[in-house]
Structure 1
Amino acid sequence: MRPLALLSLVATPAAAQTVTPLAEARLRYEQVDQDGLPRNADALTTRVRAGVAIAEGRWSALAEAQGNLAMVGDYFDGLHPYATRPLVADPQSIGLYRAQIQYKAPGVTLTAGRQRIALDDERFVGAAAIRNNGQTFDAVRAELVPTRGLKVDVTYARAVHTIWGIDGTGVRPGVIDGDNVFANLGYTTPLGTLTGFAYLVDQDAAAVQNYRLSSQTYGVRFAGTRTLGQARLSYQASWARQSDWHRNPNDYAAGYWLADAAIDLAGPRLGAGYEVFGASDGRALTSFQTPLATAFKFNGWAEKFTPKPADGLRDLYASAGWGWKTLGRAKGVSVQAIWHRFESDRLTRHYGNELDLLTQATLGRTTASIRYADYRADRFATSTRKMWLQLDWTI
């Protein structure tokens, strides 16, 4: 399809076209009690996204706006000085969230524009969905399946739109330019998917750690699931090596590895894992870093380890919970507890422990959740307790 024809598709939908409205809303109360600060943070926010997606044949286009409003703003949002209260990284913002064109055919998906990208488990590149101003990329992405079981996924991103929104500035900019390349080569086997990856991150902004978050990371990941009677076992392992790239003034190299397993016993759920972010020589930002990850998903919900400490991080964790497909009128009901023990990688010392708790359920189009995080500091950061009450609605 020619470009003019595609513009006509977006502007004047015809009968053969599919028009899908996009709408979602979130209401959240987040409370933070952090040692060393005289006041708690109290954030009552509402996030709304709305847009439209239009598809015809193999072509589609979408545009989606996003707005975040603080109805109770007694918190430090990361941008406006509020030194007496803890950080809640949800500044008020309004703007364009996504605007993309996509071509999809058997074995080929091409996407261009401002888009949401979540690779694998989002450990290296993610959408930061927990934050009201989600992370997106101005990028061109190609997903190719040349043969059964083999997938090539390559992205060039020229800009990252961060969680700090339209007012982001200084060390927390709303947009970070750079020549970012994300490449995955995955092969699916009966036991799981083996993926080789390369992530070239170019944080081309002097205010963002003086370019010290620019890095090149190469690694491999294996993840799969097995059915054992009524039980379901999931497992993953990953290894990577990272070093400085582009304008990063640091000369460093650091390793990463992960081993993780979980079992769902058709109700009870148990899991455990060990994740290591290696350190180079103890200078700031010479340990393994993941600036484009969905950080909240990993290393504790209190988010004490973004960026990773100069001496690296070792995270030993275990989880237990219970899930119900339906419970009365509710679906996807679950409760979960996760315990973390954090240590440094270099000059091994205990950083602290954390307990995270979650319960959630879906009723119709609305998902309700309650979270709690309790970080008990030993030799890193300060003890912090966080609580979230959240409602998510999707059309």
Structure 2
Amino acid sequence: MKSRILAAALLASPVALAHPAFAAEKPFGAPVPVSEDITFDPIIAARLRYEAVDQPTLDADAVTARLRAGFEIKHAPSHLSFLVEAEGTLGLQNDYNAFPFPLPGASQRRPGFSVVPDGESIDLNRLQVQYKTKAFALTVGRQRINLDDQRFVGSVGWRQNEQTFDAVRAEASLGPVTLDGTYAIQQDSIFGSEAGPRRSMDGDFVFLNAGAKLGPITAKAFSYMIDYDEAFAFANSSQTYGARLAGSVPLSKAVKLNVLASYARQMDLGQNPANYEADYVLGEVGLSSMGFTLTGGYELLGADKAAGKSFQTPLATLHKFNGWADLFLTTPAAGLEDYYLSLAKVLPKVKSLPGLNATVAYHEFRSDIGSTKFGTEWDASLGFKVRNVGLLLKYADYNAKAFGADKSILWLQAEVAF
């Protein structure tokens, strides 16, 4: 009980400090000079979320609070910095299943409720040393890694406990050319400190990116090698090689064309029991004008029919893709085709609600093999800020045809970060 009271107090502290009555001469959270060469930068981020899941036979009501706190010390002459950050998640209403996998004796494994993978936990989220100049950066330790749009590697920032990696990462810029390489020995998962063997997974993970700016278009080649040590994760061991093109082209003073295309080939690696090859294809086109962005796209996560295995992205920020209802966090064995259309609007002139933005999206899901119609989904969100607090209303509604069951999710969220 005492630990819960302490956690609640820590969660409330950054909100109180953000109030004008507590304002200091400098904005709270700004780097503090320790000496002529050294700065101390506090890190505080708090999030309170209500998530309601409605399914035909299961539902969930989760109220969770997440606090991240830490600091970064920078020494300017040496280009070195040291960062440490802890993360704690508290369940204020626990009518949800935090672990979508068997875990004997776990009090947060509640199969009578729908899954909301935000388990109560206390974790060391980041602990890193970094050397950084304009042209080169080397980061060693537990760190956040977001590559491109996070389709293959990301921090899963939507969940309360984010995904980090114990890794060495080097980044370099040589004029229009960028190079990015990572070797990691551990994936620290979103499930938190109480998730047993799925708290973190050991292995050999190699992420390689090389890109070049070609006018308004950025071209990249990439390679992702994932080789797990744990038997329960062998099925996700893979090697992926591909390329990506992304950019924006002005069509007029008021209209901009956004393009995105990617192709990749995935094969088994290490002790994966399947011998398979599968393709990934993405094509997306958007038009932006007067704060509106209309986007249409097609994404394929292909399948190898003979092997009964499909293209997987286990290290991605999966909530960003294939619908917010999270039906396709694991690609079905028959593969997945996602036809989608979205409309987003930014409203910067509403001064009373800074950052006001709205999005609505539609998805139609089919299998790669047989083109079976899996289902459709509508997604919508509305976000804005009140003082330093970001507020979000978000909704997803999946209508099942041949995959899963109908599912709707409502989120209400408040967040503050310094």
- Determine if the TM-score, normalized by the shorter chain, exceeds 0.5: yes
Structure-2 residue corresponding to 1:270:
294
2:192 to 152, 160, 165: 165
In structure 1, give the amino acid aligned to 2:236.
Answer: L
Q: Retained in 2: the 8 A contact 1:282–1:311?
A: no
Per the normalisation by structure 1, the TM-score is 0.93
Structure-1 residue corresponding to 2:408:
385
Q: CA offset at residue 387 of structure 1? A: 0.4
Matched, 1:55 2:74: yes
Structure-1 residue corresponding to 2:62:
43
Higher mean Cα deviation, 79-88 or 118-127?
Answer: 79-88
User: Deviations along 1:257-309, whole A, 9 cap, x unmatched?
Assistant: 0001222211322111000011002655x100000000000000011012100
Q: Which runs of 5+ in 1 are unaligned?
A: 1-12
> Structure 1 residues 64 and 326, CA, compared in 2 at 3 Å: closer, same or farther?
farther
1:135-154 to structure 2, matched below 5 A, reads 135-145=163-173, 147-154=174-181
In structure 2, give the amino acid aligned to 1:363.
Answer: V
Query: Percent of pairs identical after alignment?
Result: 41
Higher mean Cα deviation, 132-141 or 329-338?
Answer: 329-338
Q: Retained in 2: the 8 A contact 1:259–1:274?
A: yes
Q: CA offset at residue 83 of structure 1? A: 1.8
Question: How many residue pairs get matched?
Answer: 376
Structure-2 residue corresponding to 1:19:
40
Higher mean Cα deviation, 70-79 or 178-187?
Answer: 70-79
Q: CA offset at residue 334 of structure 1? A: 1.1
1:224 to 236, 244, 247: 247
> Structure 1 residues 304 and 283, CA, compared in 2 at 3 Å: closer, same or farther?
farther
Superposition RMSD on alpha carbons, in Å?
1.4
Structure-1 residue corresponding to 2:93:
72
d(CA) in 1 for partners of 2:353, 2:257: 25
Matched, 1:95 2:123: yes
Q: Retained in 1: the 8 A contact 2:243–2:262?
A: yes
d(CA) in 2 for partners of 1:267, 1:191: 20
Q: CA offset at residue 317 of structure 1? A: 0.2
Structure number with higher helix proportion: 2
> Structure 1 residues 365 and 283, CA, compared in 2 at 3 Å: closer, same or farther?
farther
The secondary structure found in structure 1 opposite 2:319 is helix
Q: Retained in 2: the 8 A contact 1:48–1:67?
A: yes
Q: CA offset at residue 174 of structure 1? A: 0.7
The secondary structure found in structure 2 opposite 1:207 is helix
Higher mean Cα deviation, 228-237 or 66-75?
Answer: 228-237
In structure 1, give the amino acid aligned to 2:280.
Answer: Y
User: Deviations along 1:222-259, whole A, 9 cap, x unmatched?
Assistant: 00012331223221000000000011111000000000
Q: Retained in 1: the 8 A contact 2:255–2:288?
A: yes
Matched, 1:104 2:132: yes
Matched, 1:129 2:129: no
d(CA) in 2 for partners of 1:282, 1:293: 26
In structure 2, give the amino acid aligned to 1:185.
Answer: A
Q: CA offset at residue 81 of structure 1? A: 3.0
Q: Retained in 2: the 8 A contact 1:283–1:310?
A: no
Structure-1 residue corresponding to 2:363:
340
d(CA) in 2 for partners of 1:96, 1:347: 45
User: Deviations along 1:333-381, whole A, 9 cap, x unmatched?
Assistant: 1111100000000121000000001010123321111010000000001
d(CA) in 2 for partners of 1:342, 1:389: 26
In structure 2, give the amino acid aligned to 1:186.
Answer: G
2:207 to 160, 176, 182: 182
Q: CA offset at residue 15 of structure 1? A: 4.7
Structure-1 residue corresponding to 2:221:
196
In structure 2, give the amino acid aligned to 1:74.
Answer: D
Per the normalisation by structure 2, the TM-score is 0.88
Q: Retained in 2: the 8 A contact 1:282–1:310?
A: no
Q: Retained in 2: the 8 A contact 1:327–1:333?
A: yes
The secondary structure found in structure 2 opposite 1:212 is helix
d(CA) in 2 for partners of 1:366, 1:67: 19
Structure-1 residue corresponding to 2:11:
none
The secondary structure found in structure 1 opposite 2:334 is coil
In structure 2, give the amino acid aligned to 1:169.
Answer: G
User: Deviations along 1:65-113, whole A, 9 cap, x unmatched?
Assistant: 0000000010011163322210001000002100100001231100000
> Structure 1 residues 154 and 330, CA, compared in 2 at 3 Å: closer, same or farther?
same
> Structure 1 residues 297 and 281, CA, compared in 2 at 3 Å: closer, same or farther?
same
Structure-1 residue corresponding to 2:329:
306
Runs of 4+ displaced beyond 3 Å: none
